[in-house]
Amino acid sequence: MRIAIRVTGLAIAMATALAGAAQAGSFICRETPIVAPNHKLTALAPRVAVGGKLEILAIGSSSTEGVGATSRDRSYPARLQTLLSTAWPRMQVTVANAGIGGEIAPETLARLKKALTERRYDLVIWQVGTNDAVRGGDMAAFRAMIADGIAVVKQAGVSLALLDPQYFPGIREPARYQSYVEAIAEVAKRESVPVFTRYETMREWHEADAQAFRAALAADSFHMSDAGYDCLARDMAAGLVSLTASGRPVVAQTK
């Protein structure tokens, strides 16, 4: 009974956090299922129930750094920290923003390995693949690199979730770009790591209303805007609540 009450409480907290939907122009954030679970973040569930400090490392390239946002506190890591603090009032949530614009995955992985030796984190959110997908390269090497990163985080005893590339209408080679998204999904599924499916989520936003979707992107039509980052953070927060909730399994969403 106590488990059921706790899950309900989290759901209510998230509903409150999500109530103020982000808006910019005609773009309105609608909660979109964004998690391909593969594995629940079981190690975090008792921590969330009991309370205390929760240290999250958000690492990646420009869309982690917050390029396109009007200020750093409008980036997705900053918004995610605020939303999780509302969803988990017993937790002191800190989301460290370790995004560096322009990086490709091997560069981010090198920083991730270093970061894990310098500080203890409870959860890593690894945003990966966007610049690799834009530039192209050896797909076998990319897959191996993702697997290497997953192994490093697991060996450190830290929970992990991946954030795949963003969708934007100006993708030059859609098939190649999507192959990177699919590679991330395949490796993550094999290694039992949940993925925040940003590509499919943003594509759904675009398909729902292409004109309104423009307001989810910055002026360069590539990076996300304040509204886009906020909506992403809301979906990710809801996903994290589902991945750490006890009492019932998470069912994978069909995109």
Architecture field, domain 2-244: 3-Layer(aba) Sandwich (3.40)
CB burial readout 183-193, b (16+ within 10 A) else e: bbbebbbebeb
> What is the predicted pLDDT for the residue at 14?
47
CB burial readout 31-60, b (16+ within 10 A) else e: ebbbbbbbbbbeebbebbbeeeebbbbbbb
> What is the predicted pLDDT for the residue at 97?
98
Give, for all 255 residues of the chain, the pLDDT tens digit: 222 223 334 443 444 344 444 444 578 888 788 998 888 898 998 989 889 999 999 999 999 999 999 999 999 999 999 999 999 999 999 999 999 999 999 999 999 999 999 999 999 999 999 999 999 999 999 999 999 999 999 999 999 999 999 999 999 999 999 999 999 999 999 999 999 999 999 999 999 999 999 999 999 999 999 999 999 999 999 999 999 986 443 333 433
Predicted TM-score (pTM) above 0.85: yes
**Contact indicator for 54, 124 with CB cutoff of 8 Å:** no
94-150 pLDDT, tens per residue? 999 999 999 999 999 999 999 999 999 999 999 999 999 999 999 999 999 999 999
Rounded to whole angstroms, the Cα distance separating 46 from 122 reads: 12
